[in-house]
Amino acid sequence: MGQFAVSGLRFIAWRGAILGAVQASIQYRPSRIPAPNEARYVMTKRGAKMQTEILTLLRSADGALSAYDVLHALQETHPKIAPPTVYNALAALAKAGSVHRVESLKAYVACQCTDAHHSSVLSICGECGTVEERIAPQIVQDLSGFVEETGFQPQRYVIEVHGKCSACSAQATRA
């Protein structure tokens, strides 16, 4: 028994006869398939809606949220949502500069500054979990100069400072 292909269809030859799964009457039913640019628009619209919901959730949170915290919060309104949907939306928001990944916590916070593309210093309170963002261009410039002396070329900066926020510090002094 041998196999060969004709016009993209695979046939099996057996004793000189062709056995195949080709039907003489294949019906063509045109379906409504969106044009490539239209499909991208639909996906972008759906993705933008999810990103907006995630950004709203992160802005209303008291501290940083992990991707699974976001997933569990969204499952109340979207029961079938899957982790890749959340990860893709968070990646798109981070790329746009709308959220920051807090590397040490493996979590995300909404950007608190108006300049979307900047290197921030994130102050993370170990007591209450609050994350404050500040822009410090001089620190980034000094850090760049320091590492570039050895020929290292930085691509992105993650500057996180762990400690106590002013509210927790004030509360500790009152107690």
97 vs 22, which has greater pLDDT? 97
Region class of 15: left (phi > 0), else alpha (psi between -120 and 50), else beta: left
Does residue 13 belong to any structural domain of this protein? no
Among the three residues 72, 91, 111, which one is the final residue of a domain in this structure?
111
Is residue 7 over pLDDT 50? Answer: no
CATH of residue 127 = 3.30.1490.190
* Domain presence at residue 26: no
**132-170 burial by CB neighbour count: b if 16+ within 10 A, else e?**
eeeeeeeebeeeeeeeeeeeeeeeeeeeeeeebbeebee
The least confident of 25-29, 35-39, 49-53 is 25-29
45 and 98 assigned to the same domain: yes
* pLDDT for position 158: 86
Higher pLDDT, 159 or 20: 159
* Residue 175 structural domain: 116-175
Residues 106 and 140 in one domain: no
Domain count, the chain: 2
- Write down the pLDDT at residue 72: 97
**Per-residue model confidence as pLDDT tens digits over 118-137:** 778 999 999 999 999 988 88
Contacting residues for 89 by C-beta, under 8 A, at least 6 apart? 47, 50, 51, 54
Max mean pLDDT among 41-50, 73-82, 134-143 falls in 73-82
83 pLDDT band, cuts 50/70/90, is very high
Establish if 25 belongs to a structural domain.
Answer: no
Give the model's pLDDT for residue 140: 87
Q: Report the mean per-residue pLDDT for the chain.
A: 79
- pLDDT in the model for residue 66: 97
Give the pLDDT band (50/70/90) at residue 15.
Answer: very low
Of 64, 79, 111, which residue sits at a domain end?
111
pLDDT of residue 112: 86
pLDDT, one tens digit per residue, over 84-129 is 999 999 999 998 889 999 999 999 999 988 765 677 899 999 999 9
Q: Is 74 found in the same domain as 51?
A: yes
Question: Are 77 and 94 within one domain?
Answer: yes
pLDDT number for residue 63: 92
Distance CA 87, CA 85 (A): 6
Is the same domain home to 91 and 124? no
